[in-house]
Structure 1
Amino acid sequence: MRLWHEQLIKYLPRQQLLGQHRECCALRGNGWEKPHATVNYIFNYSVTHLFAYHCLVMDEMKKRGYTVTEEWASPSYRGKNCEPIDLTNFDKDTLKKMEFLIKSGHIYEEHDERYMEECLENLRNKGIYIHF
């Protein structure tokens, strides 16, 4: 389980991009706050950060012509087997921040240069070389 560095999303091969979508769906659903060493840092943030990250993934999928279940476009949706998130407690500032995160493409502080290199190395070990 891994969230690729935000800047890599548009370069990911099909398999990794679709896998990232599945990871985001799982994390937004029953996987929220279930420990996993590779992604534990996301639980230090509001679920809105994960939604913003997932939006980047879904936007790239749509650009490539893949179909995305429309329910995932709602920040409250958590999958068929989970209760939706109650957004009534989210103030306008939180929702504006979520929109800003989506537009900025820099969602997690941990996604720094060191993490970028770690992700690139992980991809190289899979035989995937990304140059940008």
Structure 2
Amino acid sequence: MRLWHEALISKLPRQQLLGQHRECCALRGLGWNKKHATVDYVFQYSPDKLFQYHIKVMDEMKKRGYNNDPLWENPAYRGKACPPYKEDVIKEENESRRIYPEHDAAYLEECISNLSAKGIYL
């Protein structure tokens, strides 16, 4: 499980982009607060941060002509197996330049190296 650096979303190959959508769906649903070394930082923030990130992924999917279930565009939606978030959990925050502070220059390099190891050169 990994959330690619935000700067890479528009550059990800099809397989990684669609995989990122699935990861976001899983994290927003039953995967919320389930420990995983690579994405534990996500749980330190409001679920709205993950929604903001997921919107970036879905926007890129739309640009490429892919479809997603529009239910995921609702910040309270958590999938068919989870009840939606209550209004007090979702706090509309002004989107900063970077959604997750962890997505810094070092993390960008880590992601590029990870993709390169898979034979993906951006």
2:14 corresponds to:
14
Q: Secondary structure at the match of 1:41?
A: helix
Normalising by structure 2, we get a TM-score of: 0.96
Q: Which amino acid aligns with 1:20?
A: Q
1:107 corresponds to:
99
Structure 1 runs of 4+ with >2 Å offset: none
Q: Does 1:29 align with 2:29?
A: yes
User: For 1:108 and 1:123, how far apart are their aligned partners in 2?
Assistant: 20
Q: Secondary structure at the match of 1:82?
A: coil
Aligned residues: 122
1:54 corresponds to:
54
Higher helix residue share:
1
Structure 1 unaligned blocks of 5 or more: none
Normalising by structure 1, we get a TM-score of: 0.89
Report how far residue 17 of structure 1 moved. Answer: 0.1
Structure 2 unaligned blocks of 5 or more: none
RMSD: 1.2
1:67 corresponds to:
67
User: For 1:10 and 1:31, how far apart are their aligned partners in 2?
Assistant: 25
Q: Deviations over 1:69-116 (max 9, x none)?
A: 0000000000001000011x258xx31x1xx32xx5510000000000
1:86 corresponds to:
86
